Amino acid sequence: MKPVRAIVSVSDKTGIVDFVKKLVDLGIEIISTGGTAKLLKEAGIPVREISDLTGFPEIMEGRVKTLHPKVHGGILARRDKEDHLKAMEELGIERIDMVVVNLYPFKETVKRGASLEEIIENIDIGGPTMVRAAAKNYRDVAIVTDPKDYDLVVKELEETGKISLKTRFYLAKKAFNLTAHYDALISDFLYSIDEEGNPVAVREMRNPLTITFEKVQDLRYGENPHQRGAFYKEVFIDEPCVSSAEKLAGEKELSFNNLYDLDGAFNLVLEFDPEKEGVACAIIKHANPCGVALGKTPEEAYEKALNVDPVSAFGGIIAFNSKVNAEVAKLITQRFYECIIAPEYDEEALEILKTKKNLRVLTTNGLSGLERRGQKSPFDYRRITGGLLVQDRDLVVFDPEKVKVVTDREPTEREWEDMIFAFKVVKWVKSNSVVYAKNKVAIGIGVGQTSRIDSARCAAEKAKMMGMDLEGSVLASEAFFPFRDSVDEAAKVGVTAIIQPGGSIRDSEVIQAANEHNMAMVFTGIRHFRH
């Protein structure tokens, strides 16, 4: 069936004048509203006002204009139902064969920091109602919501005089996806504030959970080449992170694994305040750190991190918590890495890094978003087959008021510094995990073992293999020690202090072992399992 009448009402007016001119040339009558009608008239296009169709004026500052039986009857009437056609004739309802609508800019209004009143006024009602009505009746009506589809619609009309069922179904799917996304954005925003518009401190775990993400790009493949992959991001997040990072250099696109590792690397270095604790450098390989260190300069931190395990660092991901300078850039380009991420780069450093064409260089454009209340992504989502696990993000290291020394000997100042450093690192190592640290360098990292004693042994053996001196080091564990064996193992290699959450039924035995070895031991009361 050839379209004879179209309703056109768009907020995003990209390409709309040219598109409607072509519809008019094809003999389609145009009905429009508000600003869209004004724009089309100014372009010399004949337009019929919506009030002429409905016989009712737009009211309440435009809140009510298309919510009318003569609009929705014309959209929803099935052309193959005699009673529908009879009702249209009896009530004077004109058929509408095409709806060209996109929605009020709710997302953009929120993101520019508008008042709550203005945000609420940018919740579209009539638009989504027409979109859903047209999409429901896609067998008889074409719903066009995306300016990118204008050329497709015109091409089919010019070639065949109609829009194919295949295209109408394609447009309907996009339309329902649009309204679902739009409503999810509204829900997400409203759950982030109280009734006065102030950010809530803790997000509700609502039921049902409606979440929405926008596609950034298709990926070459997923975790493995036989899996498809795509990268999506949350909409209202305003924090320095991989999802909001800008790629400055690198010819290759980021992969699924690159993005996952970049996220872990950058989150790790964010645990350290560059002004108070120094420059942090983390080198990540297969979601685990193979080198982490603090230094006075980026090059010092990088060299210390690299020395921990230069073999594993090959093809890894590097993250910094401060500006990357030319000195460290020169060192980085001497080896092969997949990606680097940092808050910023000086001009010379960026030019040096660009000489490695396959090195992807990302910037988060600063760290300034870290303290913006209510703007961090609130939840951690983990997919399981047929379901979704949701938890609060692990944004703490430990509560200073819960930290206590449990052994006879108090830690020295240096041991305290190393233990705090090590506990921040072990938080981002896959469980079961331990980290040996000395002079703010993670000199031994035990990852992903099924027993904690194996993690302790593997980390110590790796450290020795790389020529690291464990004498006088500290040990951090992300969860409690179930037995004293890990403490005994640590003592053999020269560990003098241990930091762990505590909470085992055998804590007394573990503490006793530490006292026997003249170790200092600290309980944090906070566990950091990472699966």
Residues designated as active site: 136, 286
3-state DSSP call for residue 31? strand
**Rg (Cα) of the chain, in Å, rounded?**
30
Both tokens of residue 94? 């004109």
341 close to 245: Cβ distance less than 8 angstroms: yes
251 close to 357: Cβ distance less than 8 angstroms: yes
Q: How far is CA 277 from CA 272, 301, 417, 423, 424, in A?
A: 6, 12, 10, 14, 12
Beta bridge mates, 520: 497
Q: How far is CA 244 from its chain centroid?
A: 8
Q: In terms of Cα–Cα distance, which of 127, 136, 125, 220 is closest to 171?
A: 136
Q: How far is CA 165 from CA 102, 169, 347, in A?
A: 21, 6, 54
Q: In terms of Cα–Cα distance, which of 214, 416, 254, 271 is closest to 340?
A: 254
476 close to 500: Cβ distance less than 8 angstroms: yes
DSSP code at position 474: E
Q: In terms of Cα–Cα distance, which of 125, 82, 77, 80 is closest to 97?
A: 77
Q: How far is CA 295 from its chain centroid?
A: 29
Rounded distance, CA 496 to CA 100, Å? 71
Q: Both ends of the chain: CA-CA distance in Å?
A: 56
What does the DSSP assignment read for 87-156? HHHHHTPPP--EEEE----HHHHHHTT--HHHHHHTS-SHHHHHHHHHHHTTTT-EEE--GGGHHHHHHH
Rounded distance, CA 310 to CA 290, Å? 8
Residue appearing with tokens 């992959």: 229
> CB under 8 Å to 339, separation ≥6 — which residues?
250, 254, 258, 261, 262, 317, 318, 359, 360, 361, 362
Q: How far is CA 16 from its chain centroid?
A: 32
Beta bridge mates, 49: 32
Rounded distance, CA 42 to CA 58, Å? 20
Spell out the alpha helix ranges (H) of 137-230: 150-160, 165-190
Beta bridge mates, 389: 382
Spell out the alpha helix ranges (H) of 356-445: 413-426
Main-chain dihedrals φ then ψ at residue 403, nearest 5 degrees: -75, 130
